[in-house]
Structure formats: C-alpha cells, structure tokens
C-alpha cells in the first residue's frame, strides 16, 4: 500500500539544538509541549502548520549534536510519519528506531522535492515514489534493528520481555 505524505525539506547538518532547544530538555515532558517547540530555531512555521502524516526530507547528517531523544519524540508528537535524509547522525538514527519512527536513508530526495510537495511511501515494497513516477529504494535494516522498529520501538520490545507481551 502506498501512503501519501507532505514534505518539509531542509538542508545538511541540521543539529538537535535547532530541532529541539536544549533549554527545554529538563522541563518539558508532555508530547504536545514537545511538539509545540519542534524545529523552533530552524523553521518557526513548522510547529504551526505541521499535519499528521507529514515527513521530513533532509540532506546529510540530520540530527547531529546532542543525544537528546526529544529531537525525535517532538517530531513524532507533531505527527511526523518518517524522516528521509541523505544521512543521519548515529545517535539520532538510533533514537528514531527506538521510538518506532522510520528513518530512511535516501541520498537524492532532498534535491528533488520542495516543502509542500507530496510523495508516496510503500513500506511493503520498500520504495519511495515521487509524483513524476520516479522510485527510490528504502534501504533494508538489519534483522535485529528491524525487529525493534516492528515492535513499535525499544520500549514496547522491553515491555514484551518484562511484562510478557503488553
């Protein structure tokens, strides 16, 4: 099944300080509070206009800098369905997996779409489909990493282990 998603397009080396400012990291906890500050120092329009199902499309090294997980959870709380980047910082990539938010490595896409464009994602076929018909593969994850994503993230996986399938 192909799902349709509106794109928010950003450049290279977008760091976690502008995705979710450090000054809020020990005080804001509720998902809607986090969502209200998502991308605050990069694109103030984002938190106002983001809709459930939107995707982030970015250049290289998305999410560099601090390890703060809120840089993922704030976007997830804002309704972001996937993040597609030319590359990810390593901790950010792990945080995505652990939060059950699909990180897709696609070197070309940020040069081909603009903010507001729609793309299709076919998870079963492992493909991104553009409106002009061009198709880009979603690179497969290793089985153990895919298992975390399939469980909905690391927390549900741990719950299964300790609570026997919550």
Partner 1 sequence: MSGCTFAEKALARAAGLPAVRAGDIVDVTPDVVLSHDNSAAIRRIFAETGAPRIAYPDRVVITLDHAVPAPTSRHAQNHAEIRQWVQEQGIRHFFDVGRGICHQVLGEEALILPGETILGADSHTTHHGWLGAFGAGVGRTELAALWATGQLWLRVPEAARITLTGRLAPGVTAKDVGLRLLREIGADGALYRSLEFAGDALSALSLDERAVLPNLLAESGAKNVYLPPDQAVFDYLEPRRTRDYVPLYPDPDATYVADYHLDVSDLPPQIALPHRPDQVVDLGDVLGQPVHQAFLGTCTNGRFEDLQAAAQIVRGRQVRCRLLVIPASAQVLRQAVQTGVLDTLLAAGATISTPGCGPCMGNHMGVPAPEEATISSGNRNFRGRMGTPDAPIYLASPYVVAASALAGCIADPREYLS
Q: Which residues bind partner 1 (CB under 8 A)?
A: 12-13, 15, 17-18, 21-23, 25-27, 29, 40-42, 60-61, 64-69, 72, 87, 89-91, 94-95, 98-99, 142, 144-145, 153-155, 158-159, 161-163, 166
And the tokens for 123? 């998870």
User: 90 vs 134, which CB is nearer to partner 1?
Assistant: 90
DSSP 8-state symbol, 12? S
* Least distance between partner 1 and beta carbon 111 (Å): 17
Task: Say how far apart CA 54 and CA 82 lie, in whole Å.
Answer: 8
Strands 127-129 and 118-122: antiparallel
* Least distance between partner 1 and beta carbon 71 (Å): 9
DSSP 8-state symbol, 93? H
* Least distance between partner 1 and beta carbon 158 (Å): 4
User: 81 vs 105, which CB is nearer to partner 1?
Assistant: 105
Q: Other C-beta atoms within 10 Å of 49: how many?
A: 13
Long-range pairs for 141-149: beta carbons < 8 A, 24 or more residues apart: 141/97, 145/97, 148/97, 148/98, 148/100, 149/97, 149/100, 149/102
User: 8 vs 92, which CB is nearer to partner 1?
Assistant: 92
Strands 102-105 and 82-85: parallel
User: 38 vs 98, which CB is nearer to partner 1?
Assistant: 98
DSSP 8-state symbol, 4? E
User: 1 vs 161, which CB is nearer to partner 1?
Assistant: 161
* Least distance between partner 1 and beta carbon 155 (Å): 6
């Amino acid at each position: 099944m192909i799902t349709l998603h509106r794109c928010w397009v950003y450049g290279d080396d977008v760091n976690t300080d502008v995705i979710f400012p450090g000054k809020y990291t020990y005080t804001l906890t509720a998902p809607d509070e986090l969502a209200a500050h998502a991308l605050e120092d990069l694109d103030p329009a984002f938190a106002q206009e983001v809709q459930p199902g939107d995707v982030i499309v970015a250049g290289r090294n998305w999410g560099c800098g601090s390890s703060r997980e809120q840089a993922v959870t704030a976007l997830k709380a804002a309704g972001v369905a996937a993040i597609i980047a030319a590359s990810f910082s390593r901790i950010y990539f792990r945080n995505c997996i652990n939060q059950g938010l699909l990180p897709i490595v696609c070197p070309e896409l940020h040069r081909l779409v603009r903010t507001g464009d729609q793309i299709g994602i076919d998870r079963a076929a492992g493909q991104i489909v553009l409106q002009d018909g061009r198709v880009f593969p979603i690179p497969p994850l290793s089985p153990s990493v895919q298992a975390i994503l399939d469980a909905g993230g690391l927390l549900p996986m741990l719950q299964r282990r300790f609570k026997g399938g919550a």
